[in-house]
Amino acid sequence: MGFVSKLLTREPRSKDIARQRLQLVLVRDRQSLSPGLMQTIRDEIILAISKHLEVDEDNTKLTLSQSAGHHRLIVDIPLQGRARRA
């Protein structure tokens, strides 16, 4: 059984491993290389939300997080004044 399963399972080709590693490392490299970009994104998000809700700009936080190969942009916007209910 071991012999047959060896025939059936294919070891990943090293170039496929290289490709995956390359894609991951580049995603990470590229994110950490735009110091101005985070600020721009933050400003635009605040602007967009401010059209509808009062936003505490100074305490608005954007964070990049990474877990298990997934990257997330987490936006934390404290609201002030009275939130309008739809």
Q: Cβ 43 to other proteins, closest distance in Å?
A: 20
25: contact with other proteins by CB under 8 A: yes
For residue 55, the tally of other CB atoms under 10 A from its CB is 20
22: contact with other proteins by CB under 8 A: yes
Angle among Cα 76, 79, 82 to the nearest 5 degrees reads 160
Q: Identify the residue among 9, 14, 32, 67 touching other proteins (CB under 8 A).
A: 14
Report the chain's terminal Cα–Cα distance, integer Å: 63
Residues at the site binding other proteins, with contacts judged by CB under 8 A: 13-16, 18-19, 21-23, 25-26, 29-30, 33
